[in-house]
Amino acid sequence: MKICIIGTGYVGLVAGTCFAESGNDVICVDVDEAKIEGLKQGVIPIYEPGLKELVVRNFGEGRLSFTTDLAAAVKASLINFIAVGTPPGEDGSADLQYVLDVARVIGRNMESFKIVVDKSTVPVGTADKVRGVVKEELEKRGRDIEFDVVSNPEFMKEGAAIDDFMKPDRVVIGTDNVRTAEIMKELYSPFMRKTNRLIIMDIRSAEMTKYAANAMLATKISFMNQIANLCDRMGADVSAVREGIGSDSRIGYDFLFPGVGYGGSCFPKDVKALVKTAEENDYDFMLLKAVEAVNERQKLVLTDKITGCLGDCSTQSLKGKTIAIWGLSFKPRTDDMREAPSVVIIHRLLELGAKVAAHDPEAINEARKIFGERIIYSNNQYEILKGADALAIVTEWNEYRTPDFDRIKTLLNRPLIFDGRNLYEPSRIKEAGFEYLPIGRNGKHFSTAS
């Protein structure tokens, strides 16, 4: 099929590349000329395992192309995916200006039947707005050309996006048009070879499904973080609690790992947008407001532990202290730092007067855009430990799961680890001679002095 992907951000680039990998002719469009030229040279603007190889191969074999000419791409394609950003406005609502701008260009340039697909995460009712804008542009031209609008939300996880797209849990298609539904089924058929996971529903239900899924996952994370905080106070072990409740098939183990809160491009934005959508429909979504508040507070739990242990008794100042940070991205296997807990944690440490030295396998360049030279960076996870007063673990990269503890102890001024992701067994760390402060693990300060 002839496909146009508008927007070469995370969703658009992965989707376009995977469609090309399954044999379609795909044109990826972006207004950023430098990004488009870079993609033609094999320069991938995001870190996603396996993506570069697929882009280079499909580009080289002619199935995948990149351009800034949206008008020409629309004319050449049957299916036009809108995959541009929908950043949150000041009130938390999704900003649809880029989505609707693309819809206008489609309406101005289409010459034959088109399927316009909302791939961006958009509020319920967006498809109606897109349809209205396209129709308005056609009327201005005095043209009566058939088109259809589809909601096709994405469910990819950063760090596993290729597998998620090629072997999806489900594909949701929102349309009321039987012919369009069949075309979309054909498009996704290569990804349904083992099991048919394609779900057809009405457009508004499809739009709601994306928000509902992310809101549920965010709720599980915030719920477990509050359980972990309560475990800290009551002497319980959150890992044991997780095992106990996760074994219930109605609950499951996924998204029950406690830590320093969720981040990234989806959960924070989508929770805000759904709360705002509820307000616009005269409904107070109290539960999601609480989820959001819990998550913001959770990002400071680790700094509270640090100041409680290392801060000046009267002022909580960390002046003169150096904290080494392992992990900057909001989760492993990505360089994405949007809404990352590390950003809040580091800003707070700097406010309290601490020096910060940080390591991350992929996100250092992104961190420089945020912190500049206010913190120290290193591509070596051990280098930043030399002379530091403590190590704080913020992101659960595999590189941090089985480190050289003997080496860590010789480099730190004090064998002290604040673990925001509960990577280690407390008894093992205690035996290694460390003071260990995880989140929700027996509520104890594991110290060699105890």
Query: In sequence order, what are the residues at sequence separation of 6 or more whose Cβ sits closer than 8 angstroms to the Cβ of residue 230?
Result: 236, 440
Q: Tokens 């190590």 belong to which residue?
A: 391
Q: Is 65 left (phi over 0), alpha (psi -120 to 50) or beta?
A: beta
Query: In sequence order, what are the residues at sequence separation of 6 or more whose Cβ sits closer than 8 angstroms to the Cβ of residue 39?
Result: 8, 13, 28, 45, 55, 59, 66
The 8-class DSSP code of residue 192 comes to -
> Within a 10 A sphere around the Cβ of 149, how many other Cβ atoms?
27
430 vs 145, 176, 310, 318, 445, CA distance in Å?
71, 61, 19, 25, 10
As beta bridge partners, residue 28 has 5, 66
Contact indicator for 78, 117 with CB cutoff of 8 Å: no
Helices marked H in 113-262: 126-141, 161-166, 178-188, 203-234, 238-246
Reading the block at residue 394, the tokens are: 């913020």
The residue annotated as part of the active site, out of 4, 266, 309, 313, is: 266
Taking the alpha carbons at both ends of the chain, their separation in whole angstroms is: 67
CA separation for the pair 66, 413 (Å, rounded): 51
Of 38, 28, 26, nearest to 7 by C-alpha is: 28
Contact indicator for 1, 79 with CB cutoff of 8 Å: yes
Q: Is 4 a catalytic residue?
A: no
As beta bridge partners, residue 390 has 323
CA separation for the pair 4, 22 (Å, rounded): 15
Reading the block at residue 65, the tokens are: 């192309």
Between β-strands 2-6 and 390-393, what pairing exists: parallel, antiparallel or unpaired?
A: unpaired
Of 265, 263, 222, 280, nearest to 93 by C-alpha is: 280
Across 185-195, b (16+ Cβ under 10 Å) vs e yields eebbeebeeee
Catalytic residue ranges: 266
